[in-house]
Amino acid sequence: MGCRGTPCSVPYIAILPTNFDEHPLTWHYKRRCGQGSWLLERLPPFVKHNVERIAKTFGSDWKRIQSYLKTRPEVLQSATNPNVRNILSNPDSVEDDFLWAWLNVNTRCIFYRVKETKSDPDNLTLCPILDFANHSSVLPSMIPRASAADIWDMPLKKRGEPFTLTSPSNVTTKAGDELYLRYGFHTNQFLFAEYGFVNPVSESGLNVDITPVIEEWFANRGEVGEWMRERLVDEGYWGEWSLHSAPAPAHPSFRLMTALRLYHAIPSGVGALEGVHDPEGVLRHWRSTVNGVQETLSEENERQWRETLQQVCQQVMDAAVCEAGTLTTQRTDDGLAEFMVNSVASLWREEVYVAKAMMESLRTGVAF
């Protein structure tokens, strides 16, 4: 800590960004002082939701560090910076530094097995030099090779497995070319919330997550909607509902179709559970489409969920057209970089594009 915004003599730290003013977490964190706060309010619902999730993680990490330091105050004695030495009595004085350090780690670390199980949240590491690499979804020149333990989700036998990068066979790299990494198969919505940038819209097949919109549809069904939410959580189908424009024709994710089938497995006018004759029977029937025993619940159910999806897409599109339009003419009087406003406008335009393509697939009766 302590190098934020000042020249630093530690070579690695000297190459790190000096600030994260253009990262949405910074706008969230400094929302009371203005910069970026108006743009935070203009983010698409999924992005806003993700920034809030990241802010929660940041807040709990900061609390954990303070509790750890309370148990090991001697760790602070060697600090040269008096603010760091006094962190326990005045944590606010270093919170900006912690945000800078935390964002450096969060935007630069990679998945690497250090724990026995693959899902352990501690399977992360910083990897100086590799972390210079920018992301590209179409031009990755380095691809991490998954280990057998990762592919088969097996316990790690020994620590310190080599981290292997391969050069893809379809990419030729010349001297002086930039080496890109693919951070993951992420949507622009995710890239923006986590890293603060978006890929050019032309670079990838577009897809958008519409989870917050669909959640609202379930919430509006009262008791029955809540019962459905609980069942979908139990069965692992709650959330991560997306629309994809590629490969064409545009289509919903299987998770989204599955959730919408359940949504219409009980007539939409029924809000109270006591109005449902046999909820467990409904669930068993619905499960048969999840398990692949049956392709659909009924023709009527297919017609209904497709019609609902059409309405959802119209809703997504109307909101996105309006937001993209006003953002394009918005001036950034608070010094926020213009490209950040353009990035947010581009996220909305992507929603317009995908929702429109999806509506066309539904209108023309594409089978999914």
Ligand X SMILES: C[S@@+](CC[C@H](N)C(=O)[O-])C[C@H]1O[C@@H](n2cnc3c(N)ncnc32)[C@H](O)[C@@H]1O
133 vs 250, which CB is nearer to ligand X?
A: 133
Of these, 21, 61, 131, 161, which contacts ligand X (CB under 6 A)? Answer: 131
Shortest distance, position 130 Cβ to ligand X, whole Å: 8
197 binds ligand X (CB under 6 A): yes
106 vs 289, which CB is nearer to ligand X?
A: 106
Considering only 34-42, 113-121, 125-133, 341-349, which stretch makes contact with ligand X by CB under 6 A? Answer: 125-133
Shortest distance, position 195 Cβ to ligand X, whole Å: 4
339 binds ligand X (CB under 6 A): no
Shortest distance, position 188 Cβ to ligand X, whole Å: 11
HEC assignment per residue over 87-156:
CCCCCHHHHHHHHHHHHHHHHHCEECCCCCCCCCCCCEECCCCHHHCCECCCCCCEEEECCHHHHCCCCC
Shortest distance, position 132 Cβ to ligand X, whole Å: 4
196 binds ligand X (CB under 6 A): yes
> Of 135-154, which residues contact ligand X (CB under 6 A)?
135-136
17 binds ligand X (CB under 6 A): yes
Considering only 37-45, 111-119, 190-198, 220-228, which stretch makes contact with ligand X by CB under 6 A? Answer: 190-198
> Of 34-53, which residues contact ligand X (CB under 6 A)?
none
Considering only 133-141, 156-164, 273-281, 350-358, which stretch makes contact with ligand X by CB under 6 A? Answer: 133-141
Cβ burial 51-67 (10 Å sphere, 16+ → b, else e): beebeeebeeeeeeeee
Shortest distance, position 122 Cβ to ligand X, whole Å: 19
Shortest distance, position 295 Cβ to ligand X, whole Å: 40
Considering only 1-9, 134-142, 158-166, 242-250, which stretch makes contact with ligand X by CB under 6 A? Answer: 134-142
Token pair 């692949």: residue = 292
> Of 103-122, which residues contact ligand X (CB under 6 A)?
107-108
342 binds ligand X (CB under 6 A): no
195 vs 348, which CB is nearer to ligand X?
A: 195
Q: Which residue is nearest to ligand X (CB)?
A: 134
Count of residues of this chain found to bind ligand X when the rule CB under 6 A is applied: 12
Of these, 18, 134, 288, 314, which contacts ligand X (CB under 6 A)? Answer: 134
HEC assignment per residue over the chain:
CCCCCCCCCCHHHHCCCCCCCCCHHHHHHCHHHCCCHHHHCCCCHHHHHHHHHHHHHHHHHHHHHHHHHHHCHHHHCCCCCHHHHCCCCCCHHHHHHHHHHHHHHHHHCEECCCCCCCCCCCCEECCCCHHHCCECCCCCCEEEECCHHHHCCCCCCCCCCCCEEECCCCCCCCCCCCCCECCCCCCHHHHHHHHCCCCCHHHCCCEEECHHHHHHHHHCCHHHHHHHHHHHHHHCCCCCCEEECCCCCCEECHHHHHHHHHHCCCCCCCCCHHHCCCHHHHHHHHHHHHCCCCCCCCHHHHHHHHHHHHHHHHHHHHHHHHHHHHHHCCCCCCCCCHHHHHHHHHHHHHHHHHHHHHHHHHHCCCCC
Shortest distance, position 101 Cβ to ligand X, whole Å: 14
Shortest distance, position 41 Cβ to ligand X, whole Å: 22
Considering only 118-126, 129-137, 226-234, 273-281, which stretch makes contact with ligand X by CB under 6 A? Answer: 129-137
User: Which amino acid would we find at residue 275?
Assistant: G
48 vs 108, which CB is nearer to ligand X?
A: 108
> Of 239-268, which residues contact ligand X (CB under 6 A)?
none
Rounded to 10 deg, the angle between the 299-328 and 254-263 helix axes is 120
Give contact residues for ligand X (rule: CB under 6 A). 17, 107-108, 131-136, 195-197
